Homo-oligomer: A and B are copies of this chain.
Amino acid sequence: MRFTSEQPLGDGVLERAFTLDGIPGILWTPATAVASAPVPLILLGHPTLGLRRMYPRLAARARHAAADGFATATVELPGSGDRPRLPVLEQARADLRRAKETGRPVDEEIIDALVLPLVEEAVPEWQAALDALLALPGIGGPVGYSGGVISVGVRLAVVEPRIAAAGLFAGSLVPRVMFEEARRVTVPLHVLLQWDDEGNDRQAALDLFDAFGSQEKSLHANMGGHTGVPQFAGEAAARFFTRHLK
């Protein structure tokens, strides 16, 4: 892990860009993160729009988390931002666009091709980032995962024992196999669902919530479209992490 830039965001929050095996990422640490008293870490998931485009929202989430005493970090997804395109994802996106344009239903093959290669590639990268981040002074466990492509969060929660709690956003298409995988998730979950999210399949989101094996799981459904998560819903998610990671 190599830090490439560093800037203070105010209120003692330090933002550091890094690369790890050529993958760009960002780490935000609160003023309270010192070697003698490491703070818990939340991995900030995001959609496949690229870190640059997502930066304002990520930085806002990072500042809120820092105020609650958390370090946060994120890495670029495979095929997103400045990283090389993944032909299989590009093809699946083209198929999805065509299906939508022609009004055809989005079939399971398209959903699988759109999500599963991303999960396969991204999850080991997030795990490698976790190795590097937890080796830094001032960053400790437990670790939370928050938001982004929900299938990435599900897979991480299944395979990565350092993830102690996950806040998931039911806002992307979910391959059928992930419903089986969801049964193997046991960490506490906080799932946000935008009830009238046009781009989201509400019934699939409810089925996925039902499938999770976790003893503690909460679904918070709110109005307001995909990007309209109300402020109070963000605060409830923050309290979830405070409850489980502090």
**Alpha-carbon gap, A233 to B220, bound state (A):** 10
A5 within 8 A of B: no
Nearest opposing residue in chain B for A233, CB measure: B218
CB–CB B232/A223 < 8 A: no
One of A40-48, A171-179, A208-216 at the interface: A208-216
The count of residues in chain A whose C-beta lies closer than 8 Å to any C-beta of chain B is: 20
Nearest opposing residue in chain B for A212, CB measure: B223
Min distance, Cβ A246 to any Cβ of chain B, angstroms: 14
Chain B neighbourhood of A240, CB < 8 A? 232
> Among B206, B210, B218, B232, which residue has its beta carbon within 8 angstroms of that of A239?
B232
Min distance, Cβ A185 to any Cβ of chain B, angstroms: 13
**Alpha-carbon gap, A232 to B240, bound state (A):** 9
A243 within 8 A of B: yes
CB–CB B221/A195 < 8 A: no
Chain A interface mostly: mixed
**Alpha-carbon gap, A152 to B135, bound state (A):** 56
Q: Which of A215, A232, A239, A240 has the most CB of B within 10 A?
A: A232
Residue ranges of A at the interface with B (Cβ–Cβ < 8 Å)? 195, 206, 209-210, 215-223, 230, 232-233, 236, 239-240, 243
CB–CB A195/B210 < 8 A: yes
**Alpha-carbon gap, A84 to B206, bound state (A):** 43
Closest 10 CB pairs of A and B: A219-B221, A218-B222, A220-B220, A217-B223, A236-B236, A216-B223, A232-B243, A215-B223, A218-B220, A218-B221
**Alpha-carbon gap, A243 to B223, bound state (A):** 16
Chain B neighbourhood of A221, CB < 8 A? 209, 218-219, 221
> Among B217, B219, B239, which residue has its beta carbon within 8 angstroms of that of A219?
B219
Chain B neighbourhood of A219, CB < 8 A? 195, 219-222
Min distance, Cβ A243 to any Cβ of chain B, angstroms: 6
**Alpha-carbon gap, A215 to B232, bound state (A):** 15
**Alpha-carbon gap, A195 to B210, bound state (A):** 8
